[in-house]
Amino acid sequence: MNIEELKKLLEENSAKDENDDREIIKFKNNVEYGNEIGSILSTIKGKTYEVFIHVTVEGKVYSKLLYKTFDKIEDATNYYNIIEKYIIEYNIKSIIDEIKNPK
């Protein structure tokens, strides 16, 4: 894994805001090599569903990577299942590829 490339991508593509109205529905975390990646499925005020990846590298947190919002829980869950697989497999390469080439 090229940690410098990952850190640069994270710095350029993560959101810096906070959302106090977020309720987490489902999440998955994986820690390897002292770094953590995780997927989140949450709702904002029970109206909008959001899915994203968060990463902690060398003690610095990057959030809302591959961020998408949905009106329906089914659509959010389908997207969540895709990125959760990256987390379970600790598939940094696929996360980097998705950030560089969003679908």
User: What's the structural domain count of the chain?
Assistant: 1
What global pTM score does this model have? 0.79
37 assigned to some structural domain: yes
Give average pLDDT by consecutive 10-residue segment, the chain, 103 residues. Answer: 73 66 89 89 90 89 90 96 94 88 79
2 assigned to some structural domain: no
- Here the contacts of 98-102 (C-beta below 8 Å, separation 24 or greater) are 98/66, 99/9, 99/13, 99/65, 99/66, 100/9, 102/66
46 assigned to some structural domain: yes
Range of the domain at 33: 16-95
Amino acid residing at 89: E
85 assigned to some structural domain: yes
Residue 103: CA count within 13 A, CB half-sphere: 8
